[in-house]
């Protein structure tokens, strides 16, 4: 869990080094949630330059937490694709996410209901390919075999299943349910809205990141 700077004394530091902590801003977002898309486009768009320059670049860490919402079945598939990109080209994860959020309606219920799971994976791999990730390698991590495993297993999953399990386990520990949810130093910050502008975010940062 994140540690607020005011509690930096709780952190073990090496000899002669003053314990230090920075603020942590965690955005729990779902690729098929319209409100998550709004927040992503602001925070990782016009607000990005604010967060990555002085004084905030040394005071706050911003994290995109992938939050699967299982009542949208395709949510799992899109986040598996995100996990595949993280595995292959972590530096392209945010560009991939930006394009996926732009095209998110293509993965809403009515647009996936008549295609197979692997067909959906193929479309997600193509999006990854459009930002420079190896499309074939993404698909190879995602594809589900129609043959039983060597031990006869039928729920074989894919090559990022274990990664997604870790994400889900970590998110469950926070109690986050819906998206977008924002945690500031490990505590849910209900005052933040998905509809905030860059200027509203900057006003909040000025008050809270000290």
Range of the domain at 45: 1-6+20-67+176-209
**Separation in Å, CA 82 to CA 90, 101, 111:** 9, 11, 19
pTM for this structure?
0.92
Helix H or strand E segment including 94: helix 93-102
For residues 51 and 99, membership in a common domain is answered with: no
How close are the terminal C-alpha atoms of the chain, in Å?
Answer: 20
For residues 169 and 180, membership in a common domain is answered with: no
The answer to whether residue 15 sits within a structural domain is no
pLDDT in tens, 122-158: 999 999 999 999 999 999 999 999 999 889 999 999 9
Regions of the chain short of the pLDDT cut 50: none
For residues 58 and 131, membership in a common domain is answered with: no
Q: Report the distance separating Cα 204 and Cα 56, nearest Å.
A: 12
Enter the tokens of residue 73: 């079945």
For residues 59 and 110, membership in a common domain is answered with: no
């Amino acid at each position: 869990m994140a540690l607020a700077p005011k509690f930096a004394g709780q952190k073990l530091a090496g000899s002669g080094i003053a314990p230090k902590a920075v603020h942590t801003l965690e955005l729990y977002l779902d690729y098929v949630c319209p409100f998550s898309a709004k927040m992503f486009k602001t925070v990782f768009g016009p607000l990005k330059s604010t967060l990555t320059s002085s004084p905030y670049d040394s005071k706050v860490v911003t994290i995109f937490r992938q939050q699967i919402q299982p009542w949208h079945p395709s949510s799992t598939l899109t986040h598996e694709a995100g996990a595949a990109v993280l595995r292959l080209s972590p530096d392209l994860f945010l560009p991939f996410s930006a394009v996926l959020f732009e095209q998110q309606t293509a993965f809403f219920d009515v647009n996936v209901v008549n295609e197979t799971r692997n067909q959906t994976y193929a479309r997600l791999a193509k999006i990854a390919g459009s930002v420079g990730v190896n499309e074939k390698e993404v698909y190879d991590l995602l594809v589900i075999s129609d043959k039983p495993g060597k031990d006869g297993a039928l729920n074989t999953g894919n090559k990022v299943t274990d990664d997604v399990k870790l994400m889900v386990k970590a998110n469950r520990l926070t109690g986050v349910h819906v998206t977008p949810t924002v945690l500031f130093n490990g505590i849910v910050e209900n005052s933040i809205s998905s509809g905030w502008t860059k200027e509203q975010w900057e006003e909040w940062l000025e008050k809270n990141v000290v």
